[in-house]
Amino acid sequence: MGAVIIAENSNLIGGDNAVFDVDESYSGHCEVLTFNDDTVAVLPNYKEARAVATYAISPDGGYESVIVVEAPNKKVSHQSFDEWILT
């Protein structure tokens, strides 16, 4: 599976994208990265990573485009979107 856009902003507010690049059968930790390879968060699963990625590119999120990737060897930094947003 190639990269898939999971969320995008209007060009009027930057046109940023949240991209998913994880194999369909993968069920482990996922990392949300900026396109400059800075870690936004490492989450226990795709569902939580998608929530973080979608919010991160919003005007309130404060990030530009991000990508969600497999991170089987990375330590989880946040257990959920809620935990991430509150820290």
Kindly give the pairing relationship between strand 17-21 and strand 4-8.
Answer: antiparallel
> How far is residue 73's CA from residue 62's CA, in Å, rounded to a whole number?
27
> Which pTM value belongs to this model?
0.89
- Collapsing DSSP states into helix, strand and coil, what is residue 65? coil
Summarised one tens digit per residue, pLDDT across range 31-77 is 999 999 999 999 999 999 999 999 999 989 989 999 999 999 999 99
> How far is residue 46's CA from residue 43's CA, in Å, rounded to a whole number?
8
Please report the pLDDT score of residue 14 as a whole number: 63
Compute φ and ψ for 29, nearest 5 degrees: -60, 145
- pLDDT for residue 9 is more than 80: no
Please report the pLDDT score of residue 4 as a whole number: 80
